[in-house]
Amino acid sequence: MKRSSSKIILRANHTNKDGTQGVYLKFITNRKTHLISLDIFTTLDHWDANKIRLKATAYNSVDNNSIIEGAEGKAKKIIREYRLQGKALTFQQFRRNFHDDYYGSLSFYDHCEKQIKLKSPGVAKGTANNYNFQLNKLREFRKDVTFNEIDNTFLKEYENFLINTRKNNRNTVIKSKVFIKTMLNEAKKDGLITVHIFDNTSISRISGNRTFLVMEELRHLHDYYDSNKLPANKNNVLRYFLFACYTGLRYQDMKSLSFKHIHDRSWIELIMHKTNEVVRIPIIEAASRLLPKDPGRLPSMKVFKVLADQPTNRYLKDISREAEINKKLSFHCARHTFATIALDCGMGIETVSKILGHLEIKTTQIYAHIRDGKKAEEMKKFDQAFKREKEK
C-alpha cells in the first residue's frame, strides 16, 4: 500500500500582489502532490524555514502559528489512523477529513454524536435518551476513543469499568456493548471503517430475570390498593402500576397516556413510543375501575400522574415489601405480568403480541418460554412424588 505524507510549506514561488506568500499544507500520495491553503499569508522575511512557523515579528503570529500547528497535527492524525486501519488514503478522502471536523477527527464519539442527532427524530424519546446515556458512560470511561482503538482489550477494560466502577449487572453491560456495535455498524455503512471488532465477535446475551406477578400476587396487590393502607403518593404509583399490569403498557406510554387515548372506557388507542406503531388495547373491568371517574376532563389531560422512572421504582420496592410480595418490583414488571398471565389464561400468543405492540412474534415468544420454565418447575413435583413413592 502506498504511503501518504504531509508537511507545511510557504509557497515562495507564488507571490501575491501585496508581496505575500501563502502558507499551505502539502499532501503527497501515490507520488502526487496536492496543496491545501491555510488562508495564512506572510512574507519571506517573516517566515522561519527551520521551525516552519511565522516569526514573532509577523502580524498575528501567535494565532496563525496555532492554526499551522493544528493543521499539521490533524493531517498526521488522519494519515496515521488510515494507515492503522489498513486503508488507502486518497486526496479526496484526506481533504474531506481535513476540512470536516467530524470526519477529520475519526473520533468514535464524534461519530456517535452525529448518529444520535440523525436518529433522534425517528426514535422514541427514551431510546434517544439511552443513546446519550451510553455515550456519557463511554466518556466517563475514556475521554476520547478512535475507531482503531476499539478492540478486544478495549471491550474487556470497558466491561471491567462497568462492573467494578459503575456496579452494572451483566445485562446492563450487554446493552452498553450493543450500543457500541450499533454505532460501529453505522460507521461501516458510512464508509468510515471497513471492518470492526463485532464482525468476528458476538455479544452473548444473558436471559434476563423477568420478574412478574402471578395471578394470586396481582389479586393480592390490587386488594392492598383497595384497602387504602398506603399513603396517597404510594397509592398513586400502585394505581398506574396495576393499570399497566392489565394493559401491558410501557412506562413511557403510561406517562403520555391522555384521555384522548381512552375510548368509551373500553379501549385504548395510541402510538407506542418505542415502535411508533398504533396499538388498540381492550380495557378490562379491573383496569376500568382504576380510571378517573370525572367525565369532564380535557382530552389532552394525562390520565395518571406518573412520576419519574426512579421514584416510581423506588416506591414500588417499598410497596412490594409493605404488601409482603416477595419480589423485587420495578415498573417493567407490569408488562411482564400482563404477558405471562395473559398466556397462562389461554390468550393466543398472536393476540398478546398485538396488544404488547411487538413488531415480531418471536419477541412475544420469550414469555412463552417463561411459561415453559414454570411448567418444568411444576413437573419436578411429579418427579419428586414418583421418587418418594418408589422409596416406600
Q: What is the dihedral of CA 322, 324, 327, 330, to 10 degrees?
A: -30
DSSP 8-state class, residue 16: -
What is the DSSP track for 39-62? Answer: EEEE-GGGEETTTTEE-TTSTTHH
9: which strand partners? 24
Q: Which of 340, 351, 332 is nearest to 374 (CA)?
A: 340
* Residue at grid coordinates 516569526: 55
Name the DSSP letter for residue 164: I
Q: Domain 215-377 carries which CATH code?
A: 1.10.443.10
How many CB atoms are closer than 10 A to CB 80? Answer: 14
Residues of the chain with CATH 1.10.443.10: 215-377
- Residues linked to residue 267 through DSSP beta bridges, in sequence order: 263, 282
- Which residue's C-alpha cell is 452494572? 168
How do the pLDDT tens digits run along the chain, 392 residues long? Answer: 568 899 999 998 888 888 899 999 999 988 889 999 998 999 999 999 999 999 999 989 999 999 999 999 888 988 888 887 777 888 877 887 787 654 434 688 988 998 888 887 776 677 788 899 999 999 999 998 888 888 888 999 999 999 999 988 888 899 899 999 999 998 888 777 777 888 887 776 555 556 889 899 999 999 999 998 999 999 999 999 999 999 999 999 999 999 999 998 899 999 888 788 888 999 999 999 999 886 667 888 999 999 998 899 999 999 999 999 988 888 989 999 998 888 888 888 888 888 888 877 777 777 766 555 555 555 566 667 656 765 66
For 59, phi then psi, to 5°, come to -65, 130
CATH 1.10.150.130 placement within the chain: 107-199
Structurally, what CATH architecture does the domain formed by 107-199 represent? Orthogonal Bundle (1.10)
Helices (H), 152-191: 152-160, 170-189
Measured distance CA(251)–CA(121) in Å, rounded: 20
Query: Which pTM does this prediction carry?
Result: 0.53
> Phi first, then psi: what are they for 236, rounded to 5°?
-60, -45
